[in-house]
A and B are shown apart, each in its own frame.
Chain A
Amino acid sequence: MSDLEYKVIVGLEIHVQLATRTKMFCSCELGFGQEPNTSVCPVCLGMPGSLPVMNKQAFEYSVMAGLALNCNIPSFTKWDRKSYYYPDLPKNYQISQYDLPMSEHGYIEIPLEDGSTKKIRILRAHLEEDAGKNTHTLGNFTAVDLNRAGTPLLEIVTEPDLSSGAEVKALAVELQRIVRYLGVSEADMQKGHMRFEPNVNLHITRGGQLYKTPISEVKNLNSFRALEGSVTYEAARQLDEFLETGITMESGNKRTYGWDDENNRTVLQREKEEAHDYRYFPDPDLVPVVMTPEWLDDIRSRLCEMPLAMEKRFVTEYGLSEYDAGVITSEKATADLFDNAVKAGADPKRVCNILTQTGAKLAKDKECSVAELGVNSENLTALAKMIDDGDVGASAAAQVFELMVETGDTPGQVAEKHNLIQKSDASEIESLVDAVLADNAQAVEQVQAGGKKSKKARGFIMGQVMQRSKGQANPKVVNQILAKKLG
Chain B
Amino acid sequence: MANEILNLTCKQLRDQIADGTVKSTKAVEAVFAQIEKAEPKIKAFLRTHKEEAMQKAADIDEKIANGDKVGSLAGVPIAVKDNICTSFSKTTCASKILEDFEAPYDAHVIEQLNAADAIIIGKCNLDEFAMGSSTENSGLQQTVNPWDADRVPGGSSGGSAAAVAGRMAFGSLGSDTGGSIRQPASFCGVVGLKPTYGRVSRYGLVAYGSSLDQIGPFTRNVEDAALMMNVIAGHDGRDSTSVTEKDAPVPDYTADIDKPIEGLKIGIVPRFNEGASDEVGKAVKASLDTYKSLGAEIVEIDMPYFDYAVATYYVIATAEASSNLARFDGVHYGHRTADPHDYVEVYSKSRDEAFGDEVKRRIMLGTYALSSGYYDAYYLKASKVRNLIRQDYTKAFEKVDCIMMPVSPTTAFKFGEKTDDPMQMYLADIYTIAANLAGVPGISVPCGFDSQNLPVGLQIFTPAFSEERLLRIARMYEKENDHNIVMPPLAK
**A interface vs B, CB < 8 Å?**
42, 45-54, 81, 83, 85, 87, 90-93, 142, 144, 277, 279-281, 284-287
Majority SS at the chain A contact face: loop
- Inter-chain contacts of A45 with B (CB < 8 A): 332
Given A48-B333, A51-B202, A286-B240 in contact, is the A91-B103 Cβ separation under 8 Å? no
Given A53-B237, A83-B323, A93-B326 in contact, is the A48-B372 Cβ separation under 8 Å? no
- Inter-chain contacts of B207 with A (CB < 8 A): 48-49, 285
- Cβ of B320 and Cβ of A142 under 8 Å apart? no
- Most A Cβ at <10 Å: residue of B104, B331, B367, B379: B331
- Cβ of A285 and Cβ of B343 under 8 Å apart? no
**Which listed residue, B332, B367, B372, touches A90 by the CB 8 Å rule?**
B332
- Cβ of B237 and Cβ of A49 under 8 Å apart? no
Specify the chain B residue showing the minimal Cβ separation from A48: B206
**Listed A/B pairs (12) with beta-carbon separation below 8 Å:** A48-B85, A48-B103, A48-B328, A49-B203, A51-B202, A52-B240, A277-B371, A277-B372, A280-B375, A284-B211, A285-B210, A286-B241
Given A54-B240, A281-B370 in contact, is the A49-B210 Cβ separation under 8 Å? no
- Inter-chain contacts of B343 with A (CB < 8 A): 87, 142
Bound Cα distance A478, B327 (Å): 82
- Cβ of A90 and Cβ of B327 under 8 Å apart? yes
- Inter-chain contacts of A81 with B (CB < 8 A): 323
B322 to chain A, nearest CB (A): 8
- Most B Cβ at <10 Å: residue of A51, A144, A286: A51
- Cβ of A42 and Cβ of B240 under 8 Å apart? no
Return the CB mask of B232-254 against A: 1 if under 8 Å, else 0: 00000111110000000000000
Given A47-B103, A48-B98 in contact, is the A83-B203 Cβ separation under 8 Å? no
**Which listed residue, B105, B319, B322, B327, touches A46 by the CB 8 Å rule?**
B327
Q: Which 9 residue pairs across A and B have the least CB separation, nearest first?
A: A92-B326, A284-B211, A284-B210, A279-B370, A48-B206, A49-B204, A49-B85, A91-B327, A49-B206
Residues in B332-354 with C-beta less than 8 Å from chain A:
332-333, 343, 347
- Cβ of A49 and Cβ of B103 under 8 Å apart? yes
Bound Cα distance A48, B240 (Å): 16
- Given A49-B205, A286-B241, 10 further pairs, Cβ under 8 A: A46-B332, A46-B333, A47-B104, A48-B206, A49-B103, A51-B239, A277-B371, A279-B322, A279-B323, A284-B210
Bound Cα distance A81, B325 (Å): 13
Given A51-B203, A53-B238, A285-B210 in contact, is the A85-B323 Cβ separation under 8 Å? no
B373 to chain A, nearest CB (A): 9
A146 to chain B, nearest CB (A): 9
**Which listed residue, B103, B105, B367, touches A279 by the CB 8 Å rule?**
B367
Specify the chain B residue showing the minimal Cβ separation from A287: B240
B426 in the interface (beta carbon within 8 A): no
Bound Cα distance A309, B432 (Å): 61
- Cβ of A48 and Cβ of B379 under 8 Å apart? no
- Inter-chain contacts of B205 with A (CB < 8 A): 49
Bound Cα distance A51, B240 (Å): 8
- Cβ of B240 and Cβ of A53 under 8 Å apart? yes
- Inter-chain contacts of B322 with A (CB < 8 A): 279
Given A48-B85, A53-B238, A281-B319 in contact, is the A85-B329 Cβ separation under 8 Å? yes
**B interface vs A, CB < 8 Å?**
84-85, 91, 93, 98, 101, 103-105, 107, 202-207, 209-211, 237-241, 319-320, 322-323, 326-329, 331-333, 343, 347, 367, 370-372, 375, 379
- Inter-chain contacts of A284 with B (CB < 8 A): 209-211, 241, 320
A276 to chain B, nearest CB (A): 9
Specify the chain B residue showing the minimal Cβ separation from A26: B238
B377 to chain A, nearest CB (A): 14
**Which listed residue, B203, B209, B210, B329, touches A92 by the CB 8 Å rule?**
B329
- Inter-chain contacts of B331 with A (CB < 8 A): 87, 144
- Inter-chain contacts of B319 with A (CB < 8 A): 281
- Cβ of A285 and Cβ of B372 under 8 Å apart? no
A93 to chain B, nearest CB (A): 6
B345 to chain A, nearest CB (A): 12
**Which listed residue, A53, A54, A87, A91, touches B326 by the CB 8 Å rule?**
A91
Specify the chain B residue showing the minimal Cβ separation from A53: B240
- Inter-chain contacts of B329 with A (CB < 8 A): 85, 92
- Inter-chain contacts of A48 with B (CB < 8 A): 85, 91, 93, 98, 101, 103, 206-207, 327-328, 333
- Cβ of A281 and Cβ of B375 under 8 Å apart? yes
Specify the chain A residue showing the minimal Cβ separation from B344: A85
Bound Cα distance A284, B328 (Å): 19
- Cβ of A51 and Cβ of B323 under 8 Å apart? no
- Inter-chain contacts of A286 with B (CB < 8 A): 240-241
- Inter-chain contacts of A285 with B (CB < 8 A): 207, 210, 239-241
- Cβ of A281 and Cβ of B379 under 8 Å apart? yes
Bound Cα distance A281, B376 (Å): 11
Specify the chain B residue showing the minimal Cβ separation from A85: B347
- Cβ of B326 and Cβ of A83 under 8 Å apart? yes
- Inter-chain contacts of B327 with A (CB < 8 A): 46, 48, 90-92
Bound Cα distance A157, B91 (Å): 42
- Cβ of B107 and Cβ of A49 under 8 Å apart? yes
**Which listed residue, B104, B239, B332, touches A42 by the CB 8 Å rule?**
B104
Bound Cα distance A53, B104 (Å): 19
Bound Cα distance A48, B100 (Å): 13
- Inter-chain contacts of A54 with B (CB < 8 A): 240
Bound Cα distance A188, B161 (Å): 57
A58 to chain B, nearest CB (A): 14
Bound Cα distance A51, B215 (Å): 15
- Inter-chain contacts of A279 with B (CB < 8 A): 322-323, 367, 370-372, 375
Specify the chain B residue showing the minimal Cβ separation from A79: B240
Bound Cα distance A50, B241 (Å): 13
Bound Cα distance A90, B382 (Å): 28
- Inter-chain contacts of B85 with A (CB < 8 A): 48-49
Specify the chain A residue showing the minimal Cβ separation from B241: A287
- Inter-chain contacts of B241 with A (CB < 8 A): 284-287
B337 to chain A, nearest CB (A): 14
- Inter-chain contacts of A85 with B (CB < 8 A): 326, 329, 347
- Inter-chain contacts of A47 with B (CB < 8 A): 103-105, 333
Bound Cα distance A332, B104 (Å): 45
- Inter-chain contacts of A92 with B (CB < 8 A): 326-327, 329, 332
- Inter-chain contacts of A46 with B (CB < 8 A): 327, 332-333
Specify the chain B residue showing the minimal Cβ separation from A277: B372
Bound Cα distance A143, B166 (Å): 48
- Inter-chain contacts of A287 with B (CB < 8 A): 240-241
Specify the chain B residue showing the minimal Cβ separation from A91: B327
- Inter-chain contacts of B240 with A (CB < 8 A): 51-54, 285-287
Bound Cα distance A51, B327 (Å): 13
B204 to chain A, nearest CB (A): 4
Bound Cα distance A90, B319 (Å): 19
Bound Cα distance A47, B323 (Å): 14
Bound Cα distance A85, B326 (Å): 8
- Inter-chain contacts of B320 with A (CB < 8 A): 284
Bound Cα distance A100, B332 (Å): 30
- Inter-chain contacts of B84 with A (CB < 8 A): 49
- Inter-chain contacts of B239 with A (CB < 8 A): 51, 53, 285
B341 to chain A, nearest CB (A): 11
B323 to chain A, nearest CB (A): 5
Bound Cα distance A91, B327 (Å): 5
Bound Cα distance A286, B326 (Å): 18
- Most B Cβ at <10 Å: residue of A49, A50, A144, A277: A49
Bound Cα distance A164, B208 (Å): 50
- Inter-chain contacts of B93 with A (CB < 8 A): 48
- Cβ of B332 and Cβ of A93 under 8 Å apart? no
- Inter-chain contacts of A90 with B (CB < 8 A): 327, 332
- Cβ of A281 and Cβ of B202 under 8 Å apart? no
B465 to chain A, nearest CB (A): 16
Specify the chain B residue showing the minimal Cβ separation from A54: B240
A74 to chain B, nearest CB (A): 19
Bound Cα distance A142, B347 (Å): 14
B180 to chain A, nearest CB (A): 16
